[in-house]
Amino acid sequence: MAQYWILKSEPTSYSYEQLERDRKTAWDGVKNPLALKHIRTMHSGDEALIYHTGKEKALVGKATIVSEPYPDPAAGDPKLVVVDIQAVKRLEHSVPLAAVKAEKSLADLALVRMGRLSVVPATPAQWKRLLRMAGE
């Protein structure tokens, strides 16, 4: 059964547009223990929404996890893991964080509750609601 994730990125460091150009990338740079724990539970076929932090603060695109977790080859530390992700499509409408926070059914979403965490899960119901908000 597929799991659903929200992956955060500062667009000046790595944007969804860059992922679209690259088509596929290793989702790296994660050091927070809880975020790494989430990555370790990902599987190929899981779905993700890409969230731009910084000035934008919005969900902007869909991606698919296309690998199992593996040690980050650039880190030299086996505790630091990555997964490969592939761009699927830009969301019809970006979904600002303010709109997510205003939606009562998303009050328990980790994006709202744990704002600084870079990799957070979403339940199937939360995922469906976010996609509806994006015009999907």
Q: What is the CATH number of the domain that holds 109?
A: 3.10.590.10
Count of domains for the chain:
1
Quote the domain boundaries for residue 53. 4-133
DSSP H or E run through 84? strand 81-96
pTM to 2 decimal places: 0.95
Per-residue model confidence as pLDDT tens digits over 8-35: 999 999 999 999 999 999 999 999 999 9
Cα 20 to Cα 13: distance, rounded to the nearest angstrom:
14
